[in-house]
């Protein structure tokens, strides 16, 4: 049987031949890819000539192409369209792949060659990107434990293997529990406040599971979009209770023991590698450099955010006439917003038809900034029938890459929204570029329009910012391609792209009533802009609560013994001053996928860390170019296009002309008095 994963695709930009790929192809393809890379690395180590950049780093960058191709396809599948079979494969492969990575990064012969070139770096005539490549590899291998004695390496391998297995189990269990805890309702009256399209979608969701009535499926964060509009307080409470119960109610999908074991193993690994805790280990290779720098920023913002949230809560209490609970906040916030600004977010939705938002908003802004255009490729098959494929062309009509757009939620897709890369063009290897945007917008009933919420529109712009980062990357080496940048920098380009959502020229182009084609009324637009800072106390507090909880779990040292997830979380939130029950963290520990399975461990601070750069960049666009090719080209050439090929803060200085300042962020979030 021919395995379609083992040969480079001949489709445009190397689009995987999804129609030919079966589940049984994955394991053999992974095995072949690992064997191929082991042989490639062994050849580097066996080279008896003096280590050089050319005989060590170039073959390293060329190695593992089959494995990389297989992994990109498989992990896109496992996150966007999983199944029991895919989950089983993922669980089987997790420790095997961890061992494979360890075998390379802990190889003493390879580390010796890397270190030899690194030691001679100042005497080598290398260009800036090549020099940075040597520094990057040396840092990675050193932090990975390549310099440990053999006994330490053996324990490290055990820790990495177990962690990879546990993190996969966390992801699998959370997806299952999120599906199982969907709220089943018998009567449409219980959904009063929702639109007809949303009620129809809830009915379809129930039918998909062979149920009568209606089903409110959960989303990844604590808060559910329906909480803004559900009139029935008891139903709101049920939805919030179901969301918060994930991973806590016993059985095979309870994640509490996983949380405790994962954090303990991470702490042990950090000590083995010479760090005080896992947060110190993680931030050493980020722009933050230390967890103390992270703590200083978060603790500067938290008091003002909590103070603003308390003031907002008082307004909600006055509106409701009773003490506000977590399931009430969004509902009464909408009413207070309407009273203060005459803005009804539900009334915006007819102006946010998904196709117009995509083509006349997201694509339009990118075209104005960067001169690119988009062509739908109905002849190309993606990994699910809902996924659409677009080819992206540069201003000179050359093909930049493919953009895969996966809008709708389904039981086989994990929660949230994210961007994947299926291929990255580089000067060294050539090849194509393929990026994927995944969302979780409820699919309407047949014949109904897809009307987005205000937040969903923002998410489309955000995720497309990641897509642009991937599409525009033009580096020599695969290691630096696309979004391969520091975790606490990667959110910056996507956050900047959100600014165009309300840019007058862009908003006027896409915000048209789906039935009449009329533009969103000018007075409504002005009220929306005036209300942008509304409820920022809540929004900032729920985010900071999650970020500081993530830090707390990963400041634990290896000698600590935590027995209760609930008690630890309560103590951490109290210490942060963010323990108001009406403002729960955006993610609680038992369903905090970012930190326990999603690669943001000790790194969830990255969003607001990056937002400092984002807010400062928005000021630059407003003061200088606005929505123009000049500004877009400067941002593309000096930031987006360099990928990870230079220090990100140096790239920022190249763009901005100076370091970022925090004041624009404080003004945006109403935290001007933070730290007082």
pLDDT tens for 219-236 read 999 999 999 999 999 999
pLDDT of residue 344: 83
Instruction: Tell me the average pLDDT across 416-436.
Output: 97
pLDDT of residue 674: 42
**C-beta pairs of 286-293 under 8 Å, 24+ apart in sequence:** 286/486, 286/487, 286/488, 286/489, 286/603, 286/606, 287/486, 287/488, 287/489, 287/609, 287/648, 287/649, 288/488, 288/605, 288/609, 291/551, 291/554, 291/555, 291/602
Residue % of the chain over a pLDDT of 90: 95
Dump pLDDT digits (tens) for 324-342: 999 999 999 999 999 999 9
Instruction: Tell me the average pLDDT across 652-669.
Output: 96
pLDDT of residue 365: 99
All residues at 6 or more sequence positions from 120 whose CB lies less than 8 Å from its CB, including other chains: none
Instruction: Tell me the average pLDDT across 244-273.
Output: 97
Dump pLDDT digits (tens) for 36-68: 999 999 999 999 999 999 999 999 999 999 999
pLDDT of residue 625: 85
The yes-or-no verdict on residue 676 having pLDDT over 50 is no
Instruction: Tell me the average pLDDT across 90-117.
Output: 97
4-147 and 349-530 share one fold: no
All residues at 6 or more sequence positions from 422 whose CB lies less than 8 Å from its CB, including other chains: 14, 15, 16, 72, 73, 76, 404, 434, 435, 436
DSSP 211-263: -SSEEE---SSSS-GGGGT---HHHHHHHHHHHHHTT-SSSTT--HHHHHHHH
Question: In a 3-state reduction of DSSP, which class is residue 374?
Answer: strand
Residues acting as catalytic residues: 463
Average pLDDT for the chain: 96
The yes-or-no verdict on residue 675 having pLDDT over 70 is no
The yes-or-no verdict on residue 418 having pLDDT over 70 is yes
Instruction: Tell me the average pLDDT across 266-278.
Output: 98
Instruction: Compare 551 and 446 and report the one with higher pLDDT.
Output: 551
Every domain of the chain and the residues it spans:
4-147, 181-245, 349-530
CATH architecture of the domain formed by 4-147: Up-down Bundle (1.20)
Instruction: Tell me the average pLDDT across 111-115.
Output: 98
pTM over 0.85: yes
Q: What's the CATH number of domain 349-530, 3.40.50.300, 1.25.40.10, 1.10.1370.40, 2.60.40.10?
A: 1.10.1370.40
Dump pLDDT digits (tens) for 188-213: 999 999 999 899 999 999 999 999 99
pLDDT of residue 673: 61
Q: Are 503 and 355 in contact (CB under 8 A)?
A: no
Instruction: Tell me the average pLDDT across 486-509.
Output: 97
Give 515's pLDDT tier (boundaries 50, 70, 90): very high
Dump pLDDT digits (tens) for 452-483: 999 999 999 999 999 999 999 999 999 999 99
Q: Are 187 and 213 in contact (CB under 8 A)?
A: yes
The yes-or-no verdict on residue 533 having pLDDT over 90 is no
Dump pLDDT digits (tens) for 130-163: 999 999 999 999 999 999 999 999 999 999 999 9
Dump pLDDT digits (tens) for 611-645: 999 999 999 999 998 999 999 999 999 999 999 99
Helix (H) or strand (E) holding 93: helix 84-105
Place of tokens 């969103």: 520
């Amino acid at each position: 049987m021919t395995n379609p994963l083992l040969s480079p695709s001949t489709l445009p930009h190397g689009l995987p031949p999804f129609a030919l790929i079966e589940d049984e192809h994955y394991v053999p393809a992974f095995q072949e890819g690992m064997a191929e890379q082991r042989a490639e690395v062994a050849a580097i180590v066996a080279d008896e000539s003096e280590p050089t950049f050319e005989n060590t780093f170039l073959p390293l960058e060329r190695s593992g192409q089959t494995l990389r191709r297989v992994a990109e396809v498989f992990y896109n599948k496992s996150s966007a369209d999983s199944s029991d079979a895919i989950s089983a494969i993922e669980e089987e492969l997790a420790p095997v792949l961890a061992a494979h990575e360890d075998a390379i990064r802990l190889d003493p012969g390879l580390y010796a060659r890397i270190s030899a070139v690194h030691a001679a770096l100042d005497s080598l005539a290398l260009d800036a990107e090549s020099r940075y490549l040597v520094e990057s590899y040396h840092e990675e291998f050193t932090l990975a434990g390549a310099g440990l004695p053999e006994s330490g390496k053996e324990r490290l391998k055990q820790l990495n293997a177990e962690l990879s297995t546990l993190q996969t189990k966390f992801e699998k269990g959370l997806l299952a529990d999120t599906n199982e805890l969907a709220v089943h309702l018998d009567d449409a009256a219980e959904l009063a406040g929702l639109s007809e399209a949303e009620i129809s979608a809830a009915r379809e969701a129930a039918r998909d599971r062979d149920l009568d009535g209606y089903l409110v499926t959960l989303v990844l964060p604590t808060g559910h979009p329906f909480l803004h509009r559900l009139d029935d307080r008891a139903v709101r409470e049920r939805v919030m209770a179901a969301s918060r119960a994930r991973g806590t109610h016993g059985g095979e999908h309870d994640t509490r023991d996983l949380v405790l074991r994962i954090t303990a193993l991470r702490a042990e690994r950090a000590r083995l590698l010479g760090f005080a805790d896992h947060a110190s280990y993680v931030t050493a290779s980020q722009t933050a450099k230390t967890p103390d720098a992270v703590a200083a920023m978060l603790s500067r913002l938290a008091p003002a955010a909590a103070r603003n949230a308390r003031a907002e809560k008082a307004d909600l209490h006055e509106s409701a006439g009773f003490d506000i609970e977590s399931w009430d906040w969004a509902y009464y916030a909408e009413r207070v917003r309407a009273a203060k600004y005459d803005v009804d977010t539900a009334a915006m939705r007819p102006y946010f038809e998904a196709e117009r938002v995509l083509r006349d908003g997201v694509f339009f802004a990118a075209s104005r900034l960067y001169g690119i255009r988009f062509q739908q490729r109905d002849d190309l098959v993606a990994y699910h029938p809902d996924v659409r494929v677009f080819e992206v062309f540069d201003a000179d009509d050359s093909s930049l890459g493919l953009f895969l757009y996966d809008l709708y939620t389904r039981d086989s897709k994990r929660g949230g929204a994210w961007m994947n890369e299926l291929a990255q063009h580089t000067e060294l290897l050539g090849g194509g570029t393929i990026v994927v945007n995944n969302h979780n917008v409820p699919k309407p009933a047949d014949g109904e329009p897809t009307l987005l919420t205000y937040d969903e529109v923002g998410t489309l712009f955000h995720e497309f910012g990641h897509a642009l980062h991937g599409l525009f990357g033009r580096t020599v080496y695969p290691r630096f391609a696309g979004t391969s940048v520091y975790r606490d920098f990667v959110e910056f380009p996507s956050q900047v792209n959100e600014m165009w959502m309300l840019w007058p020229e862009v908003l006027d182009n896409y915000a048209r009533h789906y039935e009449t084609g009329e533009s969103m009324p000018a007075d409504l637009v002005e009220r929306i802009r005036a209300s942008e800072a509304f409820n920022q106390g809540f929004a900032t507090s729920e985010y900071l609560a999650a970020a500081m909880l993530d830090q707390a779990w990963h400041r634990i040292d290896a000698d600590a013994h935590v027995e209760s997830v609930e008690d630890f979380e309560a103590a951490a939130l109290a210490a942060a001053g963010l323990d108001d029950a009406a403002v729960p963290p955006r993610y609680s520990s038992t369903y905090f996928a970012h930190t326990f399975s999603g690669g943001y461990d000790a790194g969830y601070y990255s969003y607001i860390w990056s937002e400092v750069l984002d807010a400062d960049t928005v000021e630059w666009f407003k003061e200088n170019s606005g929505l123009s090719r000049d500004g877009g080209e400067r941002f593309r050439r000096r930031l987006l296009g360099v990928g990870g090929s230079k220090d990100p803060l140096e790239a920022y200085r190249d763009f901005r002309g100076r370091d970022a300042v925090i004041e624009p962020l404080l003004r945006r979030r109403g935290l001007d008095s933070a730290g007082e």
